[in-house]
A = this chain, B = another copy of it.
Amino acid sequence: MSDAIADTLAGQADAVRARLEALIRLPSVSTDPAYEPGMQATRAYLLDWFREMGLEDVQQLDGGGHPALYGSWSGAPGKPTLLIYGHYDVQPPDPLDEWISPPFEPTEREGCLFGRGASDDKGSSVIAIAAVAAYLQQSGSCPVNVKLFLEGEEEVGSPSLPTIVAKYGVLLRADAMLSADGGRASPTIPTINVGARGNTGFEVTLTTAAKDLHSGKYGGAVRNALHEMARLVASLHDVAGRIAVAGYLDEVVPPDSQARRDTAVFPVDEEAFCAEVGAAPLGEPGYTLRERLTLRPAIDVNGMWGGYTGVGAKTVIPREARAKLTMRLVAGQDPERARQLVQAHLRAQCPPGVRLEFRTQGGGSPASSLPLEHPLVRAGSAVLERLLGQRPIPVRLAATVPITALFKRLLGIETLMFAFGLPDEDVHAPNEFFRLSSIPLGLRAWVMLLDELGRVDPAAFHVKDVAQ
């Protein structure tokens, strides 16, 4: 049955691609209020699709920010109920002048579809929706009960998601979750995701004076906000790249030998990894690159600015400097505590007369981890092995899928990330793309996965928490 569905659906890859292109054209940048019309148009498009494919209870779930989108099918009593997660928001497109084709105009080049959100996460979300739609359209039913849930604030740290999940807890009740966010680790080696780093962050404003001063009147006599900010940012890491925030690494649970063995199985050419993006390597000594990316924490300043940044020169001593920081968290780290440690470190480094102000947007998420014996991992592994001829390697994401920790905490369910983006697809950067070949592969895998999960006893998903 699922094979027939999958075969038919694979033949419809063009229609699915058209859906993806339509969605890329709608600029759904959640972080910038200027894109509100694009957010609205994207929601309207997806809700129409949900209704058209026959979902019930189609609605927006409002949590005070950008609403989530919801639709369900519950025609398989006794079968597991799967919540299917994706997100319809995307990162800002800037710097705009580095895009080869316009960010919101889907453009094919060399078997890839370019456009903001193509890989993160419109490509994989469309695949998941299309798999459910194919079941309903071709057989009138689905092997499992499904609840589609598309978030609109993933790219800004999901600030309203806790409210939405708490408010609509009954509607969202499920046995497990499948996430169309995350992505594959390699285009050639089959992998299955069993964890992700957490994240949190804040913005810091540093002030040294009541006003901008002229360097020809004050130069050599007063503190300069940019000098002070530079000193603070430089103090976050030692020269080798190790995090130097006091007490920060003490809270991190060192990876166990099984996790390091799993990590070692996945081959990485460290030099090629950096060379591919022209990057200069730097990272915590004593760990391989892949361990640094998945089992160790990171702190990055994502933006820093102050003073005169226009054309020409201006001999000003700026009164204010700002920086945006985010942290990637691993086992043992609590997001709030991690923020507090970094902020305390910055305060401790800050000389008298220099003022710091912190602003946090969204609380962040801890790291997540899924036991290898969980039925989600077993089903996902079985599907990928059948499709790709090789047992997938358990891997962890360097990125964050905040929903995993959140849904576990609020709804008590585990999440399998089952997505088809790839690491080189420039998500969060100019010229983001999605491989067109991932569409038929992803469609087939999702159809098989739903079929496989339909054979699992719903109770089996609710194992005791054995996660690391």
Contacts and interface: CB of A to CB of B under 8 A. Distances in A.
A398 interface: yes
Nearest to A219: B298
A156 B312 contact: yes
A216 B233 contact: no
Interface string A424-456: 001111110000000000000000000000000
A273 interface: yes
Contacts of A423: 217
A300 interface: yes
Interface stretch (A135-143, A253-261, A279-287): A279-287
A393 interface: no
A283 B215 CA distance: 13
A428 B314 contact: yes
Interface in A310-333: 310-319, 321-324, 326, 328
A322 to B, nearest CB: 8
B221 A283 contact: yes
A368 to B, nearest CB: 13
Given A233-B226, A282-B223, A303 B309 contact: yes
A238 to B, nearest CB: 11
A224 interface: yes
A361 B203 CA distance: 33
A352 interface: yes
A292 interface: yes
Given A211-B430, A213-B279, A313-B201, A220 B297 contact: yes
Copies in the complex: 2
Interface string A335-370: 000000000000000011110000001100000000
A296 interface: yes
Contacts of A219: 197, 293, 298, 300, 326, 328, 398
A4 interface: no
Interface stretch (A11-19, A91-99, A403-411): A91-99
Interface string A170-210: 00000000000000000000000000010101010000111
B32 A312 contact: yes
Nearest to A287: B220
A306 interface: yes
Q: Interface centre among A312, A352, A429, by most B CB within 10 Å?
A: A312
Interface string A228-245: 011111101100000000
A181 B236 CA distance: 44
Given A217-B427, A219-B326, 11 more contacts: A30-B312, A199-B315, A201-B313, A212-B428, A216-B428, A278-B319, A282-B351, A302-B315, A304-B304, A313-B324, A313-B326
11 contacts: A32-B310, A32-B311, A209-B280, A216-B428, A217-B427, A219-B300, A219-B326, A227-B237, A279-B319, A279-B353, A302-B316
Interface of A: 30-33, 91-92, 94-95, 98, 155-157, 197, 199, 201, 203, 208-224, 226-227, 229-234, 236-237, 273-274, 277-284, 289, 292-293, 296-298, 300-319, 321-324, 326, 328, 351-354, 361-362, 397-400, 423, 426-431
Q: Which 4 pairs, one residue from A and one from B, show the smallest C-beta to C-beta distance?
A: A280-B353, A216-B399, A210-B278, A31-B312
